Amino acid sequence: MVVDTRQHTDRNPPVTDAIGTIRSEEFVNAAVAPHGSLGRLSQQEIEQLLDRGQKGLYSLFRRCALAILNAGSPTDDPTELLSKYASFEIRILREASGISLEVENAPAHAFVDGQMIRGIREHLFAVLRDIVYVANEIMESGRFDLHDAVGISNAVFCILRNAGIIASDNRVDLVVCWGGHSISRSEYEYTKLVGYELGLRSLNVCTGCGPGAMKGPMKGATIGHAKQRIHGGRYIGISEPGILAAESPNPIVNHLVIMPDIEKRLEAFVRLAHGIVVFPGGPGTAEELLYLLGILLEPANAAQNLPLVLTGPQGSADWLSRIDTFIGLTLGVATQEKYRIIINDPAEVARTMNSAMHCADAEFRSASESCHFNWTLKIPADFQQPFEVTHENVAALNLTRDQPLHLLAANLRRAFSAVVSGNIKEHGIHQIVAKGPFQIHGESDLMRALDDLLASFVAEGRMKLSGVYRPVYRVMV
């Protein structure tokens, strides 16, 4: 850390720590060196990161960096975060050994005794790594055809490999856990118990990296791993820029990757997963579940062995029943057979995952297939192409049964994605302010089922962490 001698304009007078970082009650100015090594950035890359124009990366990098530094804050409103830290700045400094970052008016809770918390520092440089890599190697290099299914999957793989997410030991042991960031205390405690049971069985955890059901399984797994004297447990967090400010990485994440959009984030989850556990949540959890079910409904994936469990404590039995009923009403009984519901039994959830993975490991080895990234999974184009959430696109969604089931699942997923965007993504929030709620149209019985499920999310406080919820959608029943 270095001394920053620029004038402070905070209401409270600054004080100087023993090591020289200037801080106030809420803001800190400091220069931060990367932990370990970070490849040198070219002049062009640095200019992109400092360019405040439309083609530059500064705005994206600043938003993501602020979200990382604000980890642990009890808010999921990105506009509130950007307003509170409107004077936050981040710059790249060239050093003889590489680069460092200079932050100005950063959240003070990211520092302890003048030092940036190590995990936050690692996450900050992970954001830098991924933003630069995606911009130069994925979007601008011409190496990937992002309108082609194979090209998109190759891009997803390369982003994960560059971030060190692709395991080298070829073990079948990664459980992806989905669930809400706004959940009850009993549900959170239950996610920890499931994570603990997974950890006792030497299984690793991947989540969306935020709070709530994304943090609990990781926290539980750390205890399970510790009891088994497992060192180097993997707690993978996968996010994307639009959602990062609302769901900042929790401190347990030790492998963070930022994908460029929600569709590539979802593809990363399902191709990395050896098993998936779904906890109670809101529209984001429904979006994830529908994405996976839609892929499993694709006829080419009939032979895929990907265990899927929906689970929660006894108090969440109604949530599990409602989501199961919604799947049955919209996608049919055959789709309900693609998952198992387990209520209030963390050990059974972990045994189910562990047993299925032993079977999957044998299948991978007999077929000489790599198990660290499931290339055999066919993901249709409707699941890969980014869906731009606008009022016009949401209103035009085909939510009728005159299409294959996997395409209906894809469009239902997009409807939930619109609700997520309006709830917690900066772009979506601005659209709601400007034009009012998104209007969702479709067959009357499908719309009634959708409206009932969303209404239950509102009633149970699953839409937002705090404040009075104002619906960002209108289901046209």
Domains by residue range for the chain, with CATH: 15-139 (3.30.1850.10), 150-366 (3.40.50.450), 385-475 (no CATH)
d(CA 28, CA 466): 26
Which is nearest to 21 in space by CA: 93, 104, 137, 79? 104
Which residues in 330-346 are b (16+ Cβ under 10 Å) and which e?
Answer: bbeeebeeebeebeebb
Query: How buried is 468 (Cβ within 10 angstroms: 0-12 exposed, 13-18 middle, 19+ buried)?
Result: exposed
Backbone angles phi, psi at 305, to 5 degrees: -110, 85
Whole-Å CA distances, 426 to 76, 105, 260, 429, 459: 10, 21, 15, 5, 24
* Residue ranges of the chain with per-residue pLDDT less than 70: 1-25, 35-40, 54, 96-98, 364-370, 466
pTM: 0.90
Cβ of 19: how many Cβ atoms within 10 Å?
12
Contact 257, 160 (CB under 8 A): yes
Give the type of residue at 49: L
Q: What is the DSSP letter of 304?
A: -
Cβ of 429: how many Cβ atoms within 10 Å?
19
Q: What is the pLDDT at residue 75?
A: 74
Contact 1, 31 (CB under 8 A): yes
Q: What is the pLDDT at residue 92?
A: 84
Q: What is the pLDDT at residue 367?
A: 63
What six digits make up the tokens of 319?
Answer: 């949530």
Q: What is the pLDDT at residue 6?
A: 33
Identify the residue whose tokens are 């890359």: 45
d(CA 398, CA 408): 7
Q: What is the pLDDT at residue 3?
A: 32
| Angle, CA of 252, 255 and 256, to the nearest 5° | 95
